[in-house]
């Protein structure tokens, strides 16, 4: 399992319990590893139950308290049951990262398949709402905490051929701001991260020409790394970000500055 350096803020999450959706690969896996490196107990929720258990086992082998569960974020009952099971296994819930998402197909809006639109919105937007819906009462019951919703640079930019993904990620940003206003006075901070294109399994099927074209959109001349997004996420969840709430934080190598 990939881990990250945490020399400056070791054990800042000691005594905190975290749930990461879509935590078995890519950004979610890097976030789970980073929180664990900071002392958190971690529940990894993923549609791929086998991969979730492997990720949790790898963390546990390093001395971390970790558990795994299958969660289909498009199904509110699955989210409810999984979130409650995670809190029960860990002994409460203080932190959550709502990361599960899919990319969908590439097609112009006037040709976009309706079933794909529904699937992308169900995963990338409804899934974040369902997660918040069942996480927030548990975080309040634990005395407060913090949430990061994984949006995208496409939560503020358009992208031809990706109407469903762009609409969903814009929705995540709006949902984040609204929930933050509602819970700010109750000891819960809620923010969103906006990664650029990150070198994860989500891009694994892309041909070289398409990959290189994406790289050119980032002024730093490369795609991002999952560990870099994990560092931003950990910061937003930590006490170091105690006055950051309802914000949307880009991490895109300059993509949005063009």
Kindly state whether residue 124 falls inside one of the protein's structural domains. yes
Residue 3 confidence (pLDDT): 44
Name the pTM for this structure.
0.94
Number of domains the chain contains: 1
Burial of 111 (0-12, 13-18, 19+ CB in 10 A): exposed
Nearest partner of 119 among 98, 96, 144, 100, judged by Cα: 100
Kindly state whether residue 4 falls inside one of the protein's structural domains. no
Between CA 44 and CA 170 the distance in angstroms is 25
Residues catalogued as catalytic: 165
Residue 203 confidence (pLDDT): 74
Residue 200 confidence (pLDDT): 80
The enclosing domain of 235 has a CATH number of 3.40.50.720
Tens-level pLDDT at each residue, the chain (258 residues):
444 444 456 799 999 999 999 999 999 999 999 999 999 999 999 999 999 999 999 999 999 999 999 999 999 999 999 999 999 999 999 999 999 999 999 999 999 999 999 999 999 999 999 999 999 999 999 999 999 999 999 999 999 999 999 999 999 999 999 999 999 999 999 999 999 999 887 676 778 888 888 899 999 999 999 999 999 999 999 999 999 999 999 999 999 998
Between CA 243 and CA 58 the distance in angstroms is 34
Kindly state whether residue 258 falls inside one of the protein's structural domains. no
Kindly state whether residue 35 falls inside one of the protein's structural domains. yes
Between CA 38 and CA 107 the distance in angstroms is 41
Kindly state whether residue 146 falls inside one of the protein's structural domains. yes
State which residues form the domain around 229: 17-252
User: Contact at 8 Å (CB) between 23 and 54?
Assistant: no
Kindly state whether residue 10 falls inside one of the protein's structural domains. no
3-state secondary structure the chain: CCCCCCCCCCCCCCCCEEEEECCCCHHHHHHHHHHHHCCCEEEEEECCHHHHHHHHHHHHHCCCCEEEEECCCCCHHHHHHHHHHHHHHHCCCCEEEECCCCCCCCCCHHHCCHHHHHHHHHHHHHHHHHHHHHHHHHHHHCCCEEEEEECCHHHCCCCCCCHHHHHHHHHHHHHHHHHHHHHHHHCEEEEEEEECCECCHHHCCCCHHHHHHHHHCCCCCCCECHHHHHHHHHHHHCHHHCCCCCCEEEECCCHHHC
* Residue 143 structure tokens: 């005395």
Kindly state whether residue 6 falls inside one of the protein's structural domains. no
Kindly state whether residue 33 falls inside one of the protein's structural domains. yes
């Amino acid at each position: 399992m990939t881990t990250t350096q945490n020399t400056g803020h070791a054990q800042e999450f000691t005594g905190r319990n975290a749930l990461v959706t879509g935590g078995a690969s890519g950004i979610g896996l890097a976030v789970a590893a980073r929180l664990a490196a900071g002392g958190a107990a971690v529940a990894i929720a993923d549609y791929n139950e086998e991969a979730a258990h492997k990720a949790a086992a790898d963390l546990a082998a390093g001395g971390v308290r970790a558990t795994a569960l299958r969660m289909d974020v498009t199904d509110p009952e699955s989210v409810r049951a999984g979130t409650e099971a995670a809190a029960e296994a860990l002994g409460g819930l203080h932190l959550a990262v709502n990361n599960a998402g899919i990319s969908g197909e590439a097609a112009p809006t006037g040709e976009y398949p309706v079933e794909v639109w529904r699937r992308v919105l169900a995963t990338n937007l409804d899934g974040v709402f369902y997660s918040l819906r069942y996480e927030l009462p548990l975080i309040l019951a634990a005395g407060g905490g913090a949430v990061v919703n994984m949006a995208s640079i496409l939560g503020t930019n358009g992208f031809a051929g990706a109407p469903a993904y762009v609409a969903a990620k814009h929705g995540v940003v709006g949902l984040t701001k609204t929930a933050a206003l509602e819970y700010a006075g109750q000891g819960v901070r809620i923010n969103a991260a906006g990664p650029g294109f990150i070198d994860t399994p989500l891009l694994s099927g892309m041909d070289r020409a398409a990959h290189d074209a994406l790289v050119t959109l980032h002024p730093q001349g490369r795609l991002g790394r999952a560990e870099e997004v994990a560092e931003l996420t950990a910061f937003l969840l930590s006490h170091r970000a105690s006055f950051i709430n309802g914000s949307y934080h880009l991490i895109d190598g300059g993509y949005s500055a063009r």
